[in-house]
Amino acid sequence: MTYKAPLRDYAFLLRHVLKLEDHADLPAFAGADIDTVEQILEEGGRLCEEVLAPLNTVGDKQGCVWSPDHTVKTPKGFKEAYQQMVAAGWPNLGGDPAYGGQGLPAVVQTAFQEMVSASNMAFGMYPGLTAGAYAAIHTGGSDEQKALYLPKMGSAQWGGTMNLTEPQCGTDLGLLRTKAVPQADGTYKISGQKIWISAGEHDMAENIIHLVLARIEGAPAGVKGISLFIVPKFIPTATGEPGERNAVYCTGLEEKMGIHGNATCYMSYEEATGWLIGEENSGLKLMFVMMNEARLGVGVQGLAQGEAAYQAAAAFAKDRLQGRSLTGPKNSAGPADPILVHPDVRRMLMDARAILEGGRAFMLWTSLHGDIARTSSDEAAVEKGNDYMGLMTPVVKAFLTDKGFKIASDAMQTHGGSGFTEHFPASQYLRDSRITLIYEGTNGVQALDLVGRKLAARGGRAVMSFFAEIDQFLAAQAEDAAMGPYLAGLKDAREKLQEGTLWLMQNGLANPDNAGAASTDYLHLFGLTALSYMWAKIARAALDQIAKGDQDPFYANKLTVGRYFIERILPDAGAHLAKLKTGSELMMSLPAEAF
């Protein structure tokens, strides 16, 4: 049950669908022509296949072990793999060259991230969280802070964490209680309890830099009184080495359904020394820098777990002999046919393919817009890139994780009884993937973010720009008969999404509960539309390659899976539209005591 990095798909998507070479003028792409990118991903894929994937089961079975001296031991082999990864410079793929990073485009980093998450999600979270903390310091830190922390966090020599949640506050950060008391030397004493801190303590990095939300004494109540602090486990010395042990301790690990290889920590801050990052009382803004980074990363995890689970299911379906094809034996020499001959098994595998291949395009396309937004000199492109990043982030997070979990569940189903045992990987994928629907803002919170904030921002400019791009594509392709089915699907989805958007505009303002009631169905309708667009772009690229005489069956298969998406996945769009238009009245009318 070995993981295979989807390198062929990356090469196709980056070269022919997203056409990275058209963006060669962006600074990030200066050292990253498409051949180099392919080579990097190939090497990264090897690390994931050969080093991280074999540790995935180990991590699940052993978990992390906490000791009363507040240390946490990671599963056997994690530390060596971490060192290997750091030594080879992988965490710094997208890091700022000013601080020792390689400065590669986010789109390349995203592909690498998918492979890491697919091969070992629990492991990948250690550098993943570090990258989020890195982004917050990069955005909001002083020059001194950046110089002190970014080089070592970029390389993942030092880890990083996000400390938001407290027992009484998760989604609602206004209820936060951790306090920060200003000291004469400009530092703060941080005191409070945090829970569910991923990678909060471990034995792989020489230091761990905690980014902690806390309330400065006397700050306003609610979300307007929250500041962000840097609280290192070991306070760096003048020369930037880990120095004195700070008063922040892991007081235990959370017992959870999956991602056992990642340490989910209870953290206790006992007048720990912290440094304010950014302005007083504007911690939430910086926290959202981490959070948005993290949300895209969680969407990638959802897709990645789906991919890994699909691969295991496909291997099982080709291997397991049971029953005969309904249309006559396909493996007459054997005692039975492989279960891949059964349409209902194919259905589950094809459903997975249609979502994963379209979803991968969506994830990389969104990432590329991030690169454009960050580095392009074309103002209109920057504006659109920023608009898209805002609009698509909740969709990437929630749609890809909902679907990733569904794929993991279907992958277990493909395994039959074997899937429910812990001897096959299906259970771990199902258990690990389940957290992606919850953390960094539940998928319900993503849906609210989409309909309540992102849609309405700047008069709906982002979504209108998305519709315009689709319309332009449809118009440009209209004459090509081979594109017919893909265009028809896209047109249908686009019309439904527009209808849903109009309904929200007309009904969501009058009664915000209508927006809330419609939000999840709207987000899924959005995701299906985005994937319809991606499949149309994929079909275009595949047809172009075929027209050029490339006879790799890869392209014909893409055309098939794309049509399958239109015929067997897209019909859900109509159901989502019908549901979202029913409003909130029935949903909200039972009295609380009736539940």
Q: Catalytic residue positions? A: 440
DSSP string, 327-383: TS-S-TTSSS-BGGGSHHHHHHHHHHHHHHHHHHHHHHHHHHHHHHHHH-S-HHHHH
Nearer to a second copy by C-beta: 94 or 358? 358
Give the N- to C-terminal CA distance of the chain in Å, as an integer: 44
DSSP state at residue 455: T
Q: Establish if 381 lies at the interface with a second copy (CB under 8 A).
A: no
Q: Establish if 430 lies at the interface with a second copy (CB under 8 A).
A: yes
Nearer to a second copy by C-beta: 397 or 434? 434
| Shortest CB 139 distance to a second copy, Å | 26
Nearer to a second copy by C-beta: 245 or 568? 568
Q: Establish if 591 lies at the interface with a second copy (CB under 8 A).
A: yes
For a second copy, the binding residue among 443, 507, 529, 532 (CB under 8 A) is 443
| Shortest CB 125 distance to a second copy, Å | 14
For a second copy, the binding residue among 59, 302, 500, 516 (CB under 8 A) is 516
For a second copy, the binding residue among 294, 300, 447, 483 (CB under 8 A) is 447
Q: Establish if 423 lies at the interface with a second copy (CB under 8 A).
A: yes
User: How many angstroms separate the CA atoms of 260 and 121, rounded?
Assistant: 10
The two beta strands, 234-236 and 242-245, are antiparallel
Quick one: which segment of 88-96, 103-111, 383-391, 513-521 binds a second copy (CB under 8 A)? 513-521
Contact 504, 579 (CB under 8 A): no
Which positions from 76 through 105 interact with a second copy, judged by CB under 8 A?
none
Q: Which two tokens stand for residue 579?
A: 């549901």
Nearer to a second copy by C-beta: 136 or 349? 349
User: How many angstroms separate the CA atoms of 373 and 253, rounded?
Assistant: 39
| Shortest CB 471 distance to a second copy, Å | 25
Q: Establish if 215 lies at the interface with a second copy (CB under 8 A).
A: no
Nearer to a second copy by C-beta: 444 or 460? 444
| Shortest CB 578 distance to a second copy, Å | 4
Q: Which two tokens stand for residue 246?
A: 């700070």
| Shortest CB 31 distance to a second copy, Å | 35
Q: Establish if 513 lies at the interface with a second copy (CB under 8 A).
A: yes
Nearer to a second copy by C-beta: 163 or 519? 519
Longest dimension (CA), the chain: 83
Q: Establish if 194 lies at the interface with a second copy (CB under 8 A).
A: no
All residues at 6 or more sequence positions from 112 whose CB lies less than 8 Å from its CB, including other chains = 40, 41, 44, 90, 93
| Shortest CB 423 distance to a second copy, Å | 7
| Shortest CB 99 distance to a second copy, Å | 32
| Shortest CB 162 distance to a second copy, Å | 13
Nearer to a second copy by C-beta: 1 or 340? 340
DSSP string, 176-217: ---EEEE-TTS-EEEEEEEEEEETSS-SSSSEEEEEEEEEET
Nearer to a second copy by C-beta: 143 or 344? 344
| Shortest CB 19 distance to a second copy, Å | 25
Which positions from 230 through 289 interact with a second copy, judged by CB under 8 A?
254-258
φ, ψ for residue 328, nearest 5 deg = 105, 150
Quick one: which segment of 89-97, 210-218, 439-447, 488-496 binds a second copy (CB under 8 A)? 439-447
Neighbours of 254 (CB within 10 A): 14
All residues at 6 or more sequence positions from 35 whose CB lies less than 8 Å from its CB, including other chains = none
Q: Which residue has the tokens 């902690």?
A: 212
For a second copy, the binding residue among 86, 247, 438, 546 (CB under 8 A) is 438
φ, ψ for residue 102, nearest 5 deg = -90, -15
Taking alpha carbons only, the member of 342, 475, 496 closest to residue 483 is: 475
Which positions from 319 through 358 interact with a second copy, judged by CB under 8 A?
321-323, 325-327, 335-336, 338, 340, 342-350
Contact 218, 280 (CB under 8 A): no
3-state secondary structure 461-500: HHHHHHHHHHHHHHHHHCCCHHHHHHHHHHHHHHHHHHHH
CA-based R_g, the chain, Å: 24
Per-residue contact flags (x/-) with a second copy for residues 29 to 48, judged by CB under 8 A? --------------------
Contact 85, 47 (CB under 8 A): yes
For a second copy, the binding residue among 155, 246, 427, 532 (CB under 8 A) is 427
Q: Which two tokens stand for residue 215?
A: 């309330």
Q: Establish if 431 lies at the interface with a second copy (CB under 8 A).
A: yes
DSSP state at residue 166: B
User: How many angstroms separate the CA atoms of 581 and 563, rounded?
Assistant: 28
Q: Establish if 505 lies at the interface with a second copy (CB under 8 A).
A: no
Which positions from 519 through 578 interact with a second copy, judged by CB under 8 A?
519-520, 553, 557, 560-561, 563-564, 567-568, 571-572, 574-575, 578
Q: Which two tokens stand for residue 208?
A: 């761990």
| Shortest CB 5 distance to a second copy, Å | 17
Which positions from 388 through 417 interact with a second copy, judged by CB under 8 A?
405, 409, 412-413, 416-417
The two beta strands, 207-216 and 158-163, are parallel
Which positions from 153 through 172 interact with a second copy, judged by CB under 8 A?
165, 168-172
Count of positions on this chain that bind a second copy (CB under 8 A): 93
Quick one: which segment of 81-89, 185-193, 208-216, 583-591 binds a second copy (CB under 8 A)? 583-591
